[in-house]
Amino acid sequence: MWHDTKLMNNTANALFGLVLFMLLLSGVWWVIQRPVFTLRVIKVDAVNVGSDGSGLRHVNPLTIRNTALPRIRGNFFTANLDAVRAAFEAVPWVRRASVQREWPNKLIVTLEEHVALGTWGEDGRLISVKGDVFTANLAEAEDDADLIALNGPEGSEKEVLAQYLEFKNWFAKINLAPESVNYSSRYAWGLKLNNGMQVELGRVQDANTLKSRVDKLMQVYPQLLASLQDSIENVDMRYPNGLALRSSHSNIGLKKQTKASGKT
């Protein structure tokens, strides 16, 4: 073996290359650990800036400092951007975060906030205008807008939101709007309007079930309003040939109910 010159030369070259590689690797490691690459600045921007120049409404430096910054590790080169993104997405009100490096010691974080539409379920969570359910300060959300109440089985958030938007569009024709929408565990729809009237629409049988029942209600609503004024409490539209109505007139304190058979 020791008399094989070619083999010895190849072995020496390989060892020399390995040592050179290790020296180069050590040099690179030494360079990237220099203090100049320590993260000095984390700039936070907003995805959508309002016409008044405002940026983030609910995410503030204090919540970022307390929630996100303690979870960031490494420097300009070694910081895991996925981990940084996850740290910022753990901040209340943050819907989505994106992170970029800026030479030599800066991170640019762009945040998109949730825009609350209403509450979801009974546990105090919020639902956004995009159908995302999240946890945040309810009082802050109430400062932004009048919240509607949405409820449904887990995983149905976007379906309930889409149906709410359809209800809103349909009832706008008679100057009413949903205050709450409930999609029960039995897959039956119900809603409460901003005049206090509860409307039961039942289960969907085909693509036109809900629309046809709402249309039927809107056809008779002017007559109901003329005769009962604001005393309508509940309208049950689950009957194929009619409806069930419950009303109470504040002046006489009586209950009036009209029923039809064949509820579906």
What does the pLDDT look like over 181-206, one tens digit per residue? 999 999 999 999 999 999 999 999 99
157 and 233 belong to one structural domain: yes
Mean pLDDT of 171-184: 97
| pLDDT reading at 254 higher than 60 | no
156 and 223 belong to one structural domain: yes
- Structural domain includes residue 80: yes
Tell me, what DSSP letter sits at residue 147?
P
Mean pLDDT of 27-39: 58
Query: What is the band of 259 on the pLDDT scale with cuts at 50, 70, 90?
Result: very low
Q: Provide the 3-class DSSP secondary structure of residue 119.
A: strand
How many Å is the Cα radius of gyration of the chain?
Answer: 31
160 and 251 belong to one structural domain: yes
- What is the pTM for the complete model shown? 0.80
d(CA 230, CA 254): 14
- Structural domain includes residue 191: yes
Residue 201 belongs to a domain with what CATH number?
A: 3.40.50.11690
109 and 189 belong to one structural domain: no
74 and 159 belong to one structural domain: no
Residues 118-152 pLDDT 10s: 999 999 899 999 999 999 999 999 998 899 999 99
d(CA 33, CA 25): 12
Residues 91-122 pLDDT 10s: 999 999 999 999 999 999 999 999 999 999 99
**Cβ contacts of 238-247, under 8 Å, gap ≥ 24:** 238/200, 238/201, 238/202, 238/213, 238/263, 238/264, 239/263, 239/264, 240/264, 243/216, 243/217
Residue 63 belongs to a domain with what CATH number?
A: 3.10.20.310
* Helix extents (H) in the chain: 5-32, 61-67, 81-89, 138-144, 157-171, 209-228
Q: Which of 83, 113, 143 is the endpoint of a domain?
A: 113
Number of independent structural domains in the chain = 2
- Domain span at 81: 35-113
Torsion sign, CA atoms 153, 264, 242, 227: negative
98 and 160 belong to one structural domain: no
User: Do residues 46 and 113 make contact, with C-beta atoms less than 8 angstroms apart?
Assistant: yes
Query: What is the band of 39 on the pLDDT scale with cuts at 50, 70, 90?
Result: confident
- Structural domain includes residue 6: no
| pLDDT reading at 221 higher than 50 | yes
Query: What is the band of 247 on the pLDDT scale with cuts at 50, 70, 90?
Result: confident
| pLDDT reading at 72 higher than 90 | yes
88 and 167 belong to one structural domain: no
156 and 108 belong to one structural domain: no
d(CA 109, CA 77): 16
| pLDDT reading at 77 higher than 90 | no
- Structural domain includes residue 228: yes
231 and 166 belong to one structural domain: yes
Q: Provide the 3-class DSSP secondary structure of residue 52.
A: coil
- Residue 91, strand partner residues: none
Query: What is the band of 234 on the pLDDT scale with cuts at 50, 70, 90?
Result: very high
Q: What is the mean pLDDT of the chain?
A: 84
User: Do residues 153 and 185 make contact, with C-beta atoms less than 8 angstroms apart?
Assistant: yes
- Structural domain includes residue 129: no
- Structural domain includes residue 165: yes
- Structural domain includes residue 141: no
- Structural domain includes residue 51: yes
156 and 254 belong to one structural domain: yes
151 against 12, higher pLDDT: 151
46 and 103 belong to one structural domain: yes
Q: What pLDDT, on the 0 to 100 scale, is given for residue 53?
A: 43
Mean pLDDT of 58-71: 91
**Minimal CA–CA distance to 157: which of 181, 178, 177, 138?**
181
Q: What share of the chain is helix, strand, coil (3-state, %, to 5)?
A: 35, 25, 40
